[in-house]
Structure 1
Amino acid sequence: MGNVEERTPITPSSFAVGRAILGEVRQAPILALIVFVPVVIFLERTSPDAHTLLFLLSVVAIVPLAALLSRATEAVAAKTGDAVGGLLNATLGNLTELVISLAALQAGQYLLVKASLAGAIVTNTLFMLGGAFLLGGLKHHVQEFNRVNARFQASLLFLATIAILVPSLISEVDQPPAPEVSQTLSLGLATLLVAVYALGMLFSLRTHRELFASVSHGEEDQKPWPLSLGIVMLVVVTLLVAVVSEIFVGSVQVAAEHLGLTPAFVGFIVVALVGAAAEMTTAFSAARANRLDLSVAVALGSAAQIALFVAPVLVLVSYFIGPEPMTLQFWRGAVTMMIVATMAATLLSNGGRGAWYAGVMALALYAIFAFTLFVLPPATPS
């Protein structure tokens, strides 16, 4: 009897999660890739030196986990609204970037950290937002979204890019300051950005939440999960994403050398795309369901969160786990791309309406940046 009593609290959740995953696989065959999650974990234990294979398998394994994470987030967002749902999805989706960056930070790979941060901002503002506009516009002639929320997120993102621009500019003056000055400046700016982000959450979710209400009410392609199941799935899938991300981090550098890729390209493009897989799944499916509000909230909200929270936190944490403090000083090419991407996202979201060709323009700009980094990576990034 004692054994039965001990098992009863967890059995319903375990069966519910299993049934949910099987049901999702039937509706979306791509989720069958979930089998690669135990495969990559097993391979990492038995063949830890197979870096290229581990790198490729971990990328594949993150895809179904991202899809499940987005479905679980949608279940919670259905109860909280698109504004909070977008914030929640951005927070959980950025878990992959945070895990990758922390591991690289501890190893002293600051180029990979900064490239992944800059790439995540550009990927979210151009690739994710552009893809949502394109996919949603191909199904719906014109889509509307809350432009107040879009302007707010774009303004936060612009503020963060200016904060990143300042330390990068002082290194270009005739008499560049000592490294200690750049570290002190970055530490102060990181603290300021975290405070601004916290006050922004208070403004959008508490004192002026009525300004961020959804203007579109799209159809639901799938019946949302119960809230309790969604929360359980969030916890389980988030833990699996963390495990697979650790494997990805351990193999990405050696695999990149074998594949002939530079650290800048891997961080800016590969790591950013893999890290944003969860948000992309939600943003694209929401756009197809005519819920462009959620797509814009996830894309711009995630980019703003990386710039205002993840990057400053990494600066603060580097004082404890890094070989030396990290600064907010990025190489000029990365700063230029972040500013241009922020301006493009502001222009695209300013009207509160989306169409498929707007997505084409955003994706074309992202392709320009990606091709440039692939052909001519920055020679001496800091």
Structure 2
Amino acid sequence: MGLTVFAYLFPLASLGFAILNSALALPFSWRVSAFETFLLVGSCFAAVHHAEGVSARIRQPFGTLVLTLSVTVIEVSVLVAMMLNGENNPTIAREAVLSTVMFVCTGIVGACLLLGALRHYEQDVRQQGVNGYLSVIIAISVLCLLLPGETFAGRTGATNMLQIGFVMVGTVVLYGAFLFMQTVRHRDDFLPEERDEAGEAPQHSLLVHVPLLLCCLAGIVALSSGVAAGVEEGLDRLGLRDPDAVVGAAVVAMLLLPETITAIRAARNNELQRSINTALGSALATIGLTMPAMVLVSELVGRPLTLGIDPEDRVQLLLVLVLSIVSFGTGRTNMLNGLVHLVLFAIYVMTIFIP
């Protein structure tokens, strides 16, 4: 009951405070920024709650798609606010996208596989559907994060917008093709096994969940600039060697927390396919939509981005992509698969702070 109440309060409080802050033009302060961060995180949870309510009312995999697209809108708004706050942060987009792929494919997937296996020993997924996720994730991860640093322009430190624009268009085409396969042509490959869910019907209609979901997203977008200013100023005072990497990871960890809880809960309930749809869907939506959106915004506001990632990140990205293929290669997962992913996640977090 408490979660339901907060799911109604946070959207209204976030949007209301954002309007009040804009009307009064409150100066920046740590207290205001901390309160805005509190409202933003609460609104993220509320957005996931209402997205799940919408998901329960419409067919799968459209329901999972609503959830992942909602999180993508949230992430883009926060990252754009950080890019526009103060001086240009040319690496913030690539660090956030890299962090999303690494957090999802190591941290969230590892936790789901391990905790699900602890209760159910082995779990099954629809291999064809998972292969669809991984094939597109691998393709656009390499195109967006590795290729830009290997072209002639990338090696010389110059930015060739024709190359980047062509890659971004290809990325959107791949993501659109995946959505067509997931929602129309091969829907069954992404659906979980039929289960008896009598008595689990949603309590409210789309007329309740859709407006509140939109209210959540509007409040988050409105609060993003204040949260961005507070996070960046706080991390700058720590004297980090790679502050953009930490900022990107912090944003991703904050925004993916609701989806992480949803995915882990599904894995513990022996709904691993739904868990993987949520986890890999968020990673795919991020690199398929967030990166092109950030490139477009950067071009419009005249703040160039650096897309090619550092050598240690290349090694870890390629390692986790290969590991993901192996982990889901048989269609059955166990505790060892989850443990390997979590170890790689811990090492990635270490390299964020000690590059």
For the aligned pair, the TM-score class normalised by the smaller chain equals 0.7 to 0.9
Residues of 2 paired with 1:59 and 1:336: CA distance?
33
**Map of 1:281 onto structure 2:** 261
> CA 1:246/1:146 → structure 2, altered by over 3 Å: closer, same or farther?
farther
Residue 184 of structure 1 aligns to which amino acid in structure 2?
L
Q: Is the 8 A contact 2:15 2:218 kept in 1?
A: no
**Map of 2:281 onto structure 1:** 301
Q: Secondary structure at the match of 1:94?
A: helix
Shift of 1:197: 1.2
Q: How does 1:187-336 map to 2 (within 5 A)?
A: 187-215=165-193, 217=195, 224-228=202-206, 229-261=208-240, 262-324=242-304, 326=305, 328-336=307-315
Shift of 1:190: 0.8
Q: Is the 8 A contact 2:10 2:46 kept in 1?
A: no
1:80 aligns with 2:58: yes
Shift of 1:374: 0.8
Shift of 1:97: 1.6
Residue 142 of structure 1 aligns to which amino acid in structure 2?
E
**Map of 2:150 onto structure 1:** 169
Q: Is the 8 A contact 2:105 2:280 kept in 1?
A: yes
- More displaced stretch, 301-310 vs 131-140: 131-140
Q: Is the 8 A contact 2:123 2:333 kept in 1?
A: yes
Residues of 1 paired with 2:94 and 2:10: CA distance?
30
Query: Which of 164, 176, 181 is the matching residue for 1:186?
Result: 164
Shift of 1:320: 0.8
Number of matched pairs:
348
**Map of 1:16 onto structure 2:** none
**Map of 2:101 onto structure 1:** 121
Shift of 1:178: 6.8
Q: Is the 8 A contact 1:90 1:302 kept in 2?
A: yes
Residues of 2 paired with 1:64 and 1:135: CA distance?
25
Shift of 1:311: 0.7
Residues of 2 paired with 1:221 and 1:273: CA distance?
33
Shift of 1:365: 0.7
5+ long unaligned stretches in structure 2: none
Deviation string 1:154-193 (CA, Å, 9 cap, x unpaired) is 11000012213112123699xx45725x332111111111
Q: 4+ runs of 1 displaced by more than 6 Å?
A: 31-36, 42-47
Residues of 2 paired with 1:343 and 1:133: CA distance?
17
Deviation string 1:175-231 (CA, Å, 9 cap, x unpaired) is x45725x33211111111111211221122112223322226376896523332222
5+ long unaligned stretches in structure 1: 1-20, 377-382
Residues of 1 paired with 2:121 and 2:194: CA distance?
14
Shift of 1:265: 3.5
Q: Is the 8 A contact 1:132 1:284 kept in 2?
A: yes
Q: Is the 8 A contact 1:194 1:308 kept in 2?
A: yes
TM-score by length of 1: 0.79
**Map of 1:6 onto structure 2:** none
- More displaced stretch, 238-247 vs 219-228: 219-228
Shift of 1:132: 2.0
Q: Secondary structure at the match of 1:179?
A: coil
CA RMSD, 1 decimal:
3.3
Residue 75 of structure 1 aligns to which amino acid in structure 2?
G
Q: Is the 8 A contact 1:59 1:248 kept in 2?
A: yes
Shift of 1:70: 2.2
Query: Which of 347, 355, 365 is the matching residue for 2:326?
Result: 347
Residues of 2 paired with 1:365 and 1:97: CA distance?
24
1:375 aligns with 2:354: yes
- More displaced stretch, 153-162 vs 263-272: 263-272
Q: Is the 8 A contact 1:74 1:224 kept in 2?
A: no
> CA 1:212/1:234 → structure 2, altered by over 3 Å: closer, same or farther?
same
Shift of 1:291: 2.0
TM-score by length of 2: 0.84
1:105 aligns with 2:96: no
**Map of 1:14 onto structure 2:** none
Larger of the two Rg values belongs to structure: 1
Q: Secondary structure at the match of 2:307?
A: coil
Residues of 1 paired with 2:119 and 2:193: CA distance?
18
Q: Secondary structure at the match of 1:264?
A: helix
> What percent identity do the matched residue pairs reach?
20
